[in-house]
Structure 1
Amino acid sequence: MTSLRLRLFALLAAATLFVWSAAAVWIYLHTRAEVQRVLDRRLIEAATMVASLAENSDALVATGQSRIIAVPRYNRQLACQIWSLDGRLVGRSSGAPAEPLATNRPGMSERDIGGETWRVYTIADPGRGIRVSVGDSLGIRQRLIRDLMMGLLLPAVVGLGALAFLIWTAVGTGLAPLKTISQRLRQRKPADFSPLEIARPTQEILPLVEAIDARSAKLEQMRATERHFIASAAHELQTPLAGLSTHAQIALRTDDSAVRRQSLQSIAESVDRTSRLVQQLLALAREESDVDRSEPVWLSLSVLVDALGREFHHALGSADLNVEMTEEAAAAEVCAVEAELVLALKNLLSNAINHSPSGGRIQIHVENGIGEVGISVRDQGPGIASAELERVRGRFVRGKKARGVGSGLGLSIVELVASHMSGRLDLHNQSDGGLQATLWLPEQKLRA
């Protein structure tokens, strides 16, 4: 696992080393140019001084003799030669080679003598008939520049080590709040979802703290919902299971065939109710988990409704109910996950069937809104009291006017499906009686 502290240190160290190296290169180039300029200026001054101080040069030129002249030791690396204009060596310093340092051309020049390169400045004095050449070795110059750079870079290298330590310490100090957060999270009990208390969190750490607190609050809410769900499910299952046990005991103990038949009929109804409740609980659990969610596809609304009509054929026939679709609804297509859309329509139709009077009709049509479209299911039942329209969206909640058997999970399942489809569920009573339940979806998810 990569260390964030090590990664930040590496990035900062690399950036610092890059800047430091660029500065060192610039210092080297600038220092070398400046040293060359200063040393060249020294050659010019030395040559001018030697030319002005050279004594008895006329006699030496006339006699043709040469000797070692005493030149002021401006620097021990300097070499000096005095030549007559006709090419005879008049005098030279002790460190100067016997070969000419330069050609007859005045000014700066470079020349290789005995495998060593010399930088030479030559000045001529036609009036006195002499030419003075002063030079120094480029190798000595390079050693001078190298020694100077070593004197500058050695403290810089030591400073880099100290800077690396300071960067490592500073990064550790900056990441200390993260370490504090991780320690507190590790020390927490599994059921502790209280907010993190970080004193004066920095601007960068604050979003992380807020995100963790928000996630903790959501987990706490989910656990509370889970506890409520389990408790409600146990309560709802208790009634049909108790009924099953009671009717089974009656059927076992009675000798009356009519009573036994009635008990067995009650057992069958309790089994159906329990089966529907378990199916709805499983559907709700599947919808609450985002595992293996399929990609949405375009689905024909009429095909889905026809399939559900065949599934509810017995219930529709026994109550003499008709399911009608408008032309627009019959031609509509919905972009959704098939299992989710079928689940929502199934619960809306089941709710409408349970609350519709015998001989009634259930209508399915398409609503148009602002930026959204809706699939509406209308029934001719008693509707829901206005005060209960919001409450019935909860789990295991049924309206006071509810008919038939039911668990109170249908509308909560539809609302959960609607949220997965970026939609919403709207409930309202019709003016002529009955409930209209509308599944509103973004307009791009339905086409007619």
Structure 2
Amino acid sequence: MLRTFKLLLLRWREPSVLRRLLLAQGLLVLLLWLGLIAYVATETLHDTSVFDSGHRFESIIAVTEALRDQPEQLQQVLHHIDMFQRLEDGVEDIEALRMAMVVWRGDQLVYATPGEPGVVYTPPGDGVQLVERDGRRWRALTKQSQHSNTRVTLLLPGSIADLLMAMNSHGFLVLPLLVSLPLLVLPAWASVRLALRPWRRVSAEIASRGGQDLSPLAYAPRHRELRPMLNAVNRLLRRVRESVARERSFIADAAHELRTPLATMRVHAEALQAHVSGAHAQALLDGVLRGGERANHLVGQLLALMRSDAAVDGTAPAQPVMLDELLRERLAQLALLAAERGIELDCEAADGIAIGAPRESLISMLDNLITNAIKYSPPGGLVQVRLTAAAGLAQLSIADHGPGIPAEARERVFDRFYRLPDQAQSGSGLGLAIVASVVQRLGGQIDLQDSPLPPLSGSGVGLCVLLQLPCQADEDAHREAP
């Protein structure tokens, strides 16, 4: 539970365009709401119709004149009228919104609302006037009877701050916003997600691509805001694609050109061995030959890498290949190397497993895996090869008695020219990069694990390379195979 909460917290703290849009909409709604409240408050302060709604002045003047000879009853009636006005307006318990009244007969004060601004005198006929009492502002309107000297003054709070504070204290400001907020957030979230659907389609297409797929994005949006981004991405992909093509062309041309001088150097060095005497000179020539072999091996690996990259790009034709037959063929070719190093080869392969792929790519993949297993296994070791098929997948495992690869380095060994430190065997660091390129081209998976073979005395934990490759249907393989 705590871990889930932490993940949710981390997810919430991550920047989010969706959250920014929702917050922007929320702020816009809040600003509109505050603007509406300010407009309502301003209109309320300038509205004079509330003073005389229901003919307040006429009623108060009529009662005052009718009961002018009964002062006690007049006080009671005016008090009831005062209370009724507050109940009628629905603000009896809101001090900042209550209406107060003052009644005069000539210069004699007849009635004043208890506890409010007190005795207020404003001349009749001057309209609404602002009055200051005890630090508060009041709006006052006075009318006089046409038949006597009775005057009535009605007062309402005249400060917008008091009005807003009173409305907020009784939930007139925040409560409607809180009640309507869930009804606003869900439609806003749904509308924003719907609006961002084209961006998600672009993201899904990019995420579904492999690392070698540099073709233009297939999605063609009609949206004006999205087209510049897609055009920029496609231009970037084109520039990267052209740069990679130039790099591959240069490497392939350089590798091809290097093969001839390397072969010539080897022929001359071998011919020179027959004419050179002395252990020191022979050792120097042996070093030249070994260096030439390493350079020739590197050139071969570079050419194999270029061929696998061409297969990834789809420029090399794919054909149905019987993987079990090819596996036995490559093991037979490498049996001499295994015998020279004292390594035993053990193979079990199910029959009839077809893979739709360029044959040269599969040869490069198998040769690199088997050669590495032989090269890194100690004398007397075993290289165990197993090939099975299940659920439409060819499953190939190659286990050895070598030193193995630490778990923290099993991702990096697929990088080009990367080699583990303190390696006893020479190499170019391209073998597993070629294997990974071929596997990616075929839509398969590759995994490195500790070897399941029982360890030999003095050997390491060993390495087991597990491959899963999509099989081709048997009828398609037999129909298309030459």
TM-score of the superposed pair, with normalisation by structure 2: 0.42
TM-score of the superposed pair, with normalisation by structure 1: 0.45
